Chain A
Amino acid sequence: MSVRMIADKTVKIVLFTSAIISIIVVLAIGFFIFRESIEAWTKLGVGEILFGAVWRPGQDQYGILAMIIGSVSVTFGAILLGVPLALGCAIFLAEIAPAGVQAVVRPAVQLLAGIPSVVYGLFGMVILVPLVRNLNVPGNSGYGLLAASIVLAVMILPTIASIAEDAIRAVPENYRHGSLALGATKWQTITKVVLPAGKSGILAGVILGVGRALGETMAMIMVIGNSVIMPKPLSGNPLTYYLSQARTLTGNIAVEINYATGVHESALFATGVVLFGLIMIVNASARWIIRGQKFVEKANEEQVC
């Protein structure tokens, strides 16, 4: 065997090992989180943990339903606020903005992804929370789902915007030409042709945004209030639901793990297992949708030929 061949083989093995290690790391993390949580699942029962409404480790009550609802509510709020913004951003960058404007806007949006989470949290705590507090509803402390949703909406914006932009750019130019040739305006072309064609890529971006939102920790701890309560409207107006304080699954782990021992610690790992499961489902569905899009594109190309 020549030196060149040996070098080639070595590189192959090194690359393969790095790939294997990343798989092992995921499996190992999953395995250890689950192993540490077994004590809680067996001692307390799956139903007691998943559907228990009360979390009071001092009283040996470890229900995480309030945190599941908190996480889902804040993620929903972030999607509601963030997706239109991200989509607008993506359409602007892909379809409308001239190259010079793109060169300013795109790095700015991407910069949002690079800001550390604790900085978002600080901004939320010092600027947003007092703003939210101005809403005159009794019991509104400013800390809660609304402030958290706004912070999170900005945090997931770059993820969704960049994937959606790619998806929109991936729509074949022929589609746009065809639509414009038929007399459609640019706006009609975007809403009736380009967006439907890029739909699954955009959806995949949104779902990855959901994954990011579910996993966000530090910024959430700083603005959501961390109270272990079922969020509920503060007054007769159902919208005040979002003024309620809450706690997320991630926040539950981060806030309490420092001090937890025994079943309490294990219950926090159980929280981690639930979070892991949720994020796996979210990522798997994004993957599934992206794959769906590739099939559609291929089918389209074949038809054209």
Chain B
Amino acid sequence: MKSNKKSILLVVSFLLIASLVAACSGTSTPGAPVSDPAADNSTITVSGSTTVQPLAEKLAEAFMTENTGVRIDVQGGGSSVGVKAAGEGTSDIGMASREIKESELAEFPNLEIFVIARDGIAIVAHPDVSISNLTVEQVRDIFSGKVTNWKELGGEDQNIFVVSREEGSGTRGAFEEMVMGEDALITSSAILQPSNGSVRTTVSTTPYSVGYLSFGYLDDTVKSISIDGVAPTEPNAADGSYPIVRPLNMLTNGEPTGNVKAFLDFILSEAGQKLVVEDGYISVK
């Protein structure tokens, strides 16, 4: 009797293990929805870049008030996750706040890229820094660790503290692409912070530090640095005179249809682009 009960419990526990194994091995991407989104056309799943996410949520809200039958589910995850989710079809739309890499296009040749907005990246410094203008080369030298003292750029005799985003961040990816180029690497002694907000806090509280921020995060606590004499403002980015501007992309696997197409059309419409501008980004129209 007693050993019988034990064996039953043993079987139960093995079944539990087995079901756990089965449940977990089914999904390989964290955050990927389990159900097939294509099966239910009234729900659109959007995932990827955390930079695009707040904008996408606002656009989705506006779209849903006009089209009550449609539900749009916006998740984060990062630009790489966005590309993968769109390519693998785990989300209807992927979001990426950087250019799509060639390796990614090779892996997912059917990706359709929609630039929904542009975003400038501003170089910011602690207010104590007297320098207010730098060239792209100088910014590159600062972030690669070649220049380590403000004195070398005509400023105070103070060490430069470089603040950067973590590896894989879309903002960092865009910054590396547009400022650092092929060969220069961001110095490994940079202070790394995992979000735009904490970069801003770090730069605003660390004297003689320098970092980079998405335009949407600029405020009075940090000093924005002009690049080649051009201030990081939306008009300057829109007319092309400010050089560090990245695309905010939405991706679909193949030509979008149905509600997904309607949503993308809405984003690129005048009403959608108005929301883009309201959020501090640059319209693509």
> Which A residues have a C-beta under 8 Å from some C-beta of B?
13, 16-17, 20-21, 24, 27-28, 31-32, 54, 56-59, 125-126, 129-130, 133, 138-139, 141-143, 221-222, 225-229, 245, 247, 254-261, 264
Given contacts A20-B16, A227-B189, contact A259 B169 (CB under 8 A): yes
Residue of B nearest to A144 (CB): B191
Q: Is the CB of A143 within 8 A of B206?
A: yes
Q: Is the CB of B80 within 8 A of A222?
A: no
A221–B193 CA distance with the chains assembled, in angstroms: 8
B residues within 8 A CB of A13? 9
Q: Does B284 contact A (CB under 8 A)?
A: no
Residue of B nearest to A54 (CB): B188
B residues within 8 A CB of A125? 201-202, 205
> Which B residues have a C-beta under 8 Å from some C-beta of A?
9, 12-13, 16-17, 20-21, 24, 30, 50, 76-81, 84, 159, 161, 166-170, 176, 185, 188-194, 198, 201-202, 205-207, 209
Q: Is the CB of A226 within 8 A of B193?
A: yes
B residues within 8 A CB of A24? 13, 16-17, 20
Q: Is the CB of A20 within 8 A of B9?
A: yes
Minimum Cβ distance to chain B for residue A68 (Å):
16
A residues within 8 A CB of B76? 258
Which one of B80, B191, B205, B206 contacts A261 once the chains associate, using CB atoms below 8 Å? B80
Q: Is the CB of A229 within 8 A of B24?
A: no
Q: Is the CB of A141 within 8 A of B206?
A: yes
Given contacts A138-B159, A141-B191, contact A222 B198 (CB under 8 A): yes
Given contacts A32-B24, A56-B185, contact A259 B192 (CB under 8 A): no
A residues within 8 A CB of B167? 56-58, 256, 259, 264
Q: Is the CB of B16 within 8 A of A226?
A: no
Given contacts A28-B21, A142-B206, contact A256 B166 (CB under 8 A): yes
Q: Is the CB of B16 within 8 A of A21?
A: yes
A130–B202 CA distance with the chains assembled, in angstroms: 10
A residues within 8 A CB of B30? 257
Q: Is the CB of B190 within 8 A of A227?
A: yes
A-side interface mostly: helix
Q: Is the CB of A255 within 8 A of B206?
A: no
A residues within 8 A CB of B50? 258
B residues within 8 A CB of A221? 194
Which one of A21, A141, A228, A256 contacts B161 once the chains associate, using CB atoms below 8 Å? A141
B residues within 8 A CB of A259? 78-81, 166-170
Residue of A nearest to B28 (CB): A36
Given contacts A24-B13, A32-B24, A259-B169, contact A245 B191 (CB under 8 A): yes
A residues within 8 A CB of B206? 129, 133, 141-143
A261–B87 CA distance with the chains assembled, in angstroms: 13
Minimum Cβ distance to chain A for residue B127 (Å):
15
Which one of A133, A229, A255 contacts B189 once the chains associate, using CB atoms below 8 Å? A229
A residues within 8 A CB of B20? 24, 28
Q: Is the CB of A28 within 8 A of B24?
A: yes
Q: Is the CB of A57 within 8 A of B168?
A: yes
Q: Is the CB of B9 within 8 A of A227?
A: no
A58–B193 CA distance with the chains assembled, in angstroms: 17
B residues within 8 A CB of A257? 30
Minimum Cβ distance to chain A for residue B149 (Å):
9
B residues within 8 A CB of A260? 80, 168
Q: Is the CB of A141 within 8 A of B209?
A: yes
Q: Is the CB of B168 within 8 A of A264?
A: yes
In the A-B complex, the 5 residue pairs with the closest CB atoms: A259-B168, A259-B78, A226-B192, A225-B191, A255-B166
A residues within 8 A CB of B13? 17, 20, 24
A57–B169 CA distance with the chains assembled, in angstroms: 12
A residues within 8 A CB of B209? 141
A245–B161 CA distance with the chains assembled, in angstroms: 11
Minimum Cβ distance to chain B for residue A26 (Å):
12
B residues within 8 A CB of A229? 188-189
Q: Is the CB of A126 within 8 A of B205?
A: yes
Minimum Cβ distance to chain A for residue B27 (Å):
11
B residues within 8 A CB of A225? 191-192
Please give 14 more A-B residue pairs, beta carbons under 8 A apart, in addition to A125-B202, A229-B188.
A28-B17, A56-B185, A57-B167, A126-B205, A141-B206, A143-B206, A226-B191, A227-B190, A255-B166, A255-B192, A257-B30, A258-B168, A259-B169, A261-B80
Minimum Cβ distance to chain B for residue A86 (Å):
30
For A27, A245, A257, A258, which residue has the most chain B Cβ atoms within 10 angstroms? A258
Residue of A nearest to B23 (CB): A28
